[in-house]
Amino acid sequence: MMSNNTQYYTRTAQVLHWLMALIFIVAWIIGFYSGNFLSYDADGSFKGQVITLHKNIATTIIFLVAIRIFWRYTHPAPKLPDSMSPTMQKAAHAGHLILYMMLIAMPVTGCLYSWSAGHPAPVLYLFEIPRMVQDNPELLAVVKPLHVYLSWTVGLLIVGHVLAALKHHFIDRDHILRSMTQQPKD
């Protein structure tokens, strides 16, 4: 594996990070809105359209995370600064690993949720991911709460991730946030 001698992520890694952050957060807000503020009783067709939008945006994460993991293996991340204790470096790496796992678990549980409820998993209103499970009430009873609880967990993780990045930038004044926004020559 190549090593990363700069303090910066590659441009490709940066674009993947910010693009996926945008898609993931927009998908999260739409899912949260539908799940907690819309009901089928009031205007069922509107809720249906909002859930369809949620799915069409969120399924793209599956494809992007595959590219992202490949890129991460072939282009190592910059080293964390020596000013961070070994314990904090380990905590940061563990946090990032969990975030990657969430990038997989959210769309996977979402697709299983839809399929087991008898609905499709559409991508950008262009095509559907081939259905991998049939209508299945027992599976639905597991993956539905799983998708919801994981979504709350990942919401907290993202808040922690953003607060950590801001703390590094404004309090520790190190290069960590810039490693995701700038290039060596910038």
What residues line the site for ligand HEM (CB under 6 A)? 24, 27-28, 31-32, 34-36, 51, 54-55, 58-59, 61, 106-107, 110-111, 113-114, 121, 147-148, 151
State which residue, 9 or 113, has the beta carbon closest to ligand HEM.
113
Using only the alpha carbons of the chain, give its radius of gyration: 19
State which residue, 31 or 78, has the beta carbon closest to ligand HEM.
31
> Which residues lie below 8 Å from residue 102, measured CB to CB, with a gap of 6+?
150, 153, 154, 157
Least distance between ligand HEM and beta carbon 9 (Å): 22
Least distance between ligand HEM and beta carbon 3 (Å): 31
Least distance between ligand HEM and beta carbon 23 (Å): 8
State which residue, 92 or 99, has the beta carbon closest to ligand HEM.
99
State which residue, 51 or 84, has the beta carbon closest to ligand HEM.
51
CB neighbourhood size of 110 (10 A): 24
State which residue, 114 or 179, has the beta carbon closest to ligand HEM.
114
What DSSP assignment string belongs to 98-158? HHHHHHHHHHHHHHHHHHHTT---EETTTEEPPP-S---HHHHHHHHHHHHHHHHHHHHHH
Least distance between ligand HEM and beta carbon 174 (Å): 29
Whether 177 and 168 have beta carbons less than 8 Å apart is answered as: yes
Least distance between ligand HEM and beta carbon 53 (Å): 11
